[in-house]
Every structure is written in C-alpha cells, then in structure tokens.
A and B are shown apart, each in its own frame.
Chain A
C-alpha cells in the first residue's frame, strides 16, 4: 500500500526565498507530524495536526515557519525568507490515531539546502 510521500525530495533555495514542502499522509490517518532533522542529528518535532486542526506548533523555530492541513489530508510546510540555518531534512509522519503508542509512519523527507 502507499506510504507517506513528500515532495519535492530535494530543494535548493537562495537565502531569502520562500519554499513550500508537501506531505501526502497515508489515507485515513488522523494525525500528521512535521519534524526537522539537521545534519548529524535526530529528528526534532515541529508541529502536529489532528485532522485539519493544528494542535501543537511549539516546535516551529520562528514565525517564518507556517504549516497547514486545510482538508485534513495533504499538508504543506512553508518557510518564508529562508536562512542558511533552515538547511535540513524535513520529515513528515502520519499516524492512524493520536496516542503515544501508535506507530508514526515517516515519509522519505525533503532535503532543503539554502545557499
């Protein structure tokens, strides 16, 4: 069956440009998560959606980061005025329900390089 997909897989942006990263979760999954993985580090939580509601955005590093999931399915992570420190792999994960014990299924990630 189809897993979590993300596009683009690679993105190079010049400093100051805006970027949009897309996530297609597994069909029927209620919960959707975004994580940021810097080089040589483990993923770090950015934000969480339950259906279309963004219930937690405590991990977003600045107000340049914005995420949405308007119809409770596809999600977009937008970064405005990109900076070099935004270079990282952005991972999307989805889960059937919201509970710590349920598996989060991860997409392959989008590698963002800001030059």
Chain B
C-alpha cells in the first residue's frame, strides 16, 4: 500500500512570489506520482504526473515537480504565482501496477495581491 503526506495544510503567498508545496510518499513498490488541483466548486484536475524518465516534470501553466526517489518526495513549485493559482492542491500516488490513487490531505494555496 502507498501513502502520502503533505506537510503544509495552508500556504499563503503574495502574487508574483515563488511557492513550494511539499509532498512525501511511502511505498514498497515502484510508484506513479500526481499533483491534482481543485479550484473552488470544481472537480479535481490533473496538474502534472511522474511516470518514468526525467525526474523533473512540468505543467502547461508554469508549475513543476521533481521526483526524488532517495527522499521519497515529489514537491511542487512555481517561481511566480498568480491570483488565479488560488486553489487546493493534492498530491497522489499509485503503485505502478495499481489503479487506485492514494491522496494527501491537501494544501490550500491563497495568493494575495
């Protein structure tokens, strides 16, 4: 079984400042890792995922995450946030031969002008 720990429940940040959301996972098998974003009153949307290959993955809206196997981490970063990035962010993991996602408790990002 896999599990995920998101170390920060709330992250306030000013517009155009950088942000990092921390995610650590535990698993005894190879994993796939995901970041989902949930905007107010909307469903979860996939932001980016790591399956294999390059450990640095990027999204189309400027987020990036780096898979670090030795530290069992998959932290999410953005060098300059916008007001529209205000949302809840969930880290999730699944085993490479599994199908069910295990989610962290989520990190609420509030971007202020």
Where the two chains meet, the residues of A that have a C-beta atom closer than 8 Å to any C-beta of B are 3-4, 31, 33, 35, 40-45, 48, 56, 59, 91, 93, 95, 98-101, 103-109
Where the two chains meet, the residues of B that have a C-beta atom closer than 8 Å to any C-beta of A are 4, 6, 32, 36, 41-46, 49, 51, 90, 92, 94-106
Chain A interface main SS type: loop
A44 close to B103 (CB less than 8 A): yes
B99 close to A43 (CB less than 8 A): no
How many whole Å from B5's CB to the nearest CB in chain A? Answer: 11
A97 to B63, CA, bound (A): 27
- Which one of A41, A42, A100 contacts B97 once the chains associate, using CB atoms below 8 Å? A100
Some 25 contacts from A to B, beta carbons below 8 A apart, are A4-B43, A31-B99, A33-B100, A42-B90, A42-B92, A42-B103, A42-B106, A43-B101, A45-B102, A48-B99, A48-B100, A56-B99, A56-B100, A91-B43, A91-B44, A95-B99, A99-B99, A101-B49, A101-B51, A103-B46, A105-B46, A106-B43, A107-B43, A108-B42, A108-B43
